[in-house]
Amino acid sequence: MSRVFVTGSSDGLGLMAARLLADGGHQVTLHARNAARAEATRPALPQAGAIVVGDVGSIAETRRVAEQVNALGRHDAVIHNVGIGARGAGRIESPDGLSLIFAVNVLAPYLLTALIVRPERLIYLSSGMHHTGTPDLDDPQWTQRYWNGLQAYSDSKLYDVMLAFALARRWPDVTSNAMEPGWVATKMGGPNAPDDLELGAVTQVWLAVSDDPAAHVSGRYFFHQQQVPVHQDARRTHLQDELLSYCAELTGVKLPD
């Protein structure tokens, strides 16, 4: 039995992955943005071991999420499922004055990775849209450019892959991989999304707990349990290190060696 923490698991893909883990006999820690969502989630998965609460759009609340997870004891795997898409036509700021897309999709996984007791496996949710992302860190908060929500989202999903690959390189005792669920019918993907929703959750779970040798790799990118091509810039180590340094500067937390 493994203990797995799944971020953004009060609904959608995160909750589906958590349910698959629980049905498989694993201990699951859920995450909800606030207390009301946590209470609404309990009946959906009563066998969950615990629910931690915090809005990961906020650096302070993300720190508190990490504290709650660590108080429960070491987890064997962490699935960084939480994410948001472009909301409306304009740039939305986080409580810390950052682009909310960057704060939730990139900074939260970085900070949780840095603060949570090191697991054996890390899984980062990306998107096929990462292929149109740019690793440029000249203006990642979109304060100097005209806002483009789809581009900001694509960039964030490329950063997630870069983060996964950076961890695979820096922490050789941990398997760290990225994956895309496909265009699936979540709140973000919309009701007409064509890809298989369940397979997106299955791949998360497979990477988190499977004994399949194909899942015991690191620094790879998956779609439906198969390795697939990734944006070429994701493997550029100097870009990975620039991203880690930037996130450390924003949070005041350096990734442990």
Per-residue confidence (pLDDT) for residue 207, from 0 to 100: 98
Q: What is the distance, to the nearest Å, from the Cα of residue 24 to the centroid of all Cα atoms in its chain?
A: 22
Concatenating the DSSP letter of every residue in 101-166 gives HHIIIIIHHHHHHHHSPP-SEEEEE--GGGGG-----SSTT-SSS---HHHHHHHHHHHHHHHHHH
Q: Is 153 a catalytic residue?
A: yes
Per-residue confidence (pLDDT) for residue 182, from 0 to 100: 61
Per-residue confidence (pLDDT) for residue 107, from 0 to 100: 98
Q: Over 90: is that where the pLDDT of 189 sits?
A: no
**pLDDT tens digits for 119-160?**
999 999 999 999 999 999 999 999 999 999 999 999 999 999
Per-residue confidence (pLDDT) for residue 190, from 0 to 100: 46
Catalytic position from the list 124, 157, 159, 221: 157
* Domains, the chain, ordered by start: 3-251 (3.40.50.720)
**pLDDT tens digits for 44-86?**
999 998 999 999 999 999 999 999 999 999 999 999 999 999 8
> Number of C-alpha atoms within 13 angstroms, CB side, residue 178?
28
Q: Is 157 a catalytic residue?
A: yes
Q: Nearest-CA neighbor of 18 among 90, 70, 79, 100?
A: 79
Cross-strand partners of 97: none
Is the entire prediction scored with pTM above 0.75?
Answer: yes
Catalytic position from the list 153, 159, 187, 246: 153
